[in-house]
Structure 1
Amino acid sequence: MTRMNMTTARARLDGTLRAVCVALSALLVLLVTWQVFTRLVLGAPSAWSEEAARQTFVWVSLIGIAIAVGEKADVIMDFLVAKLPVPAQRITDIIAYLATLAFVLYVMVFGGIQQSMLAWGQRNPLLPLTQGQLYLALPISGALLTIYLIIHIVGTFSSRYAGHVENDEDLEAAAL
């Protein structure tokens, strides 16, 4: 695949995930609003909307994590790594990405698939889905994280790898 095709595919994936997150966030707001309305106005809380909101929150959170990792906006403490020479930064990044990838593959993808399979036949008493279907959030988000981590690993081997830039955003924001 050419670089242009990879860039286009990445942009489409990013845009799709953002749109899914926005839609799920809107659904979450509607579900919580309905829950509050039924509890406070009607005096009869809606049990299904509470469960649906909880599951929607899980999906939004896990997909949001994938987006953050894709944008390298996840939480990292790179003040020490930024002080290293660029070749050492490259090695540090590769080790960090590989360790994260191992965790994601083992816990989220492999473990998530196992959990989904174990719970596939368990009916959810409040929603028209099985627990296994709801647990698919874990392996799906794990697969998305895997894609982004592989992109980052490939990027560290690129000749355009510039390393970490020491940048204190808090100081910049305070100066404004």
Structure 2
Amino acid sequence: MPKPTKGPRLGGGPAHERLLLANLAAALFTHKSIKTTETKAKRLRPLAERLVTFAKRGDLHARRRVLSVIGDKTVVHELFTEIAPLVADREGGYTRITKIGNRKGDNAPMAVIELVLEPVNPKPKSAKKTAKADAATAAPVEDAPVEETEEAPVEDAAADAGAESAEEGAAAEAAAEDAVVTEDETAAKA
């Protein structure tokens, strides 16, 4: 059984707080970003993240659980069809809270809570690890003897020429053969 929150509730009582957070979550899923007090944003984050996790599951039971919290079918439909596919690759952290200063009237600290819908970018590996990996793979390659054949430059020259048609391919092969012949003549002279 979940332990009730200690201290004062946001709306006065537990039922009012539950309804207030449900309305904030519905507004967040509808508008993708809302401006509210820091305290409400911090209390909304776990609820919104749990509802997005249900939406990622996508089954009927998850849809009914979210519907029992929010109560608006259009918001639940938007959450399941639009938001859940955008965060399918993300493993958590579906919301972002940004503090924006104090409200003019009562000096309450305000914040913007928004959904993080950007695609996930994998973290780049550190420079030390990649340098060690490059050094380990480069060392055996340098020790191996390199054997050259006459046909390899012909294939490379044709590939480098980027032949698009048969005529261009034939011209590239002829140029590669001339290059091989000149290399053989220079090697014979030396």
TM-score, scaled relative to structure 2: 0.20
Q: Which fold has the larger relative contact order, with Cα–Cα distance below 8 Å and residues 6 or more apart in sequence?
A: 1
Q: Which entry has the higher C-alpha Rg, 1 or 2?
A: 2
More helix by share: 1
More strand by share: 2
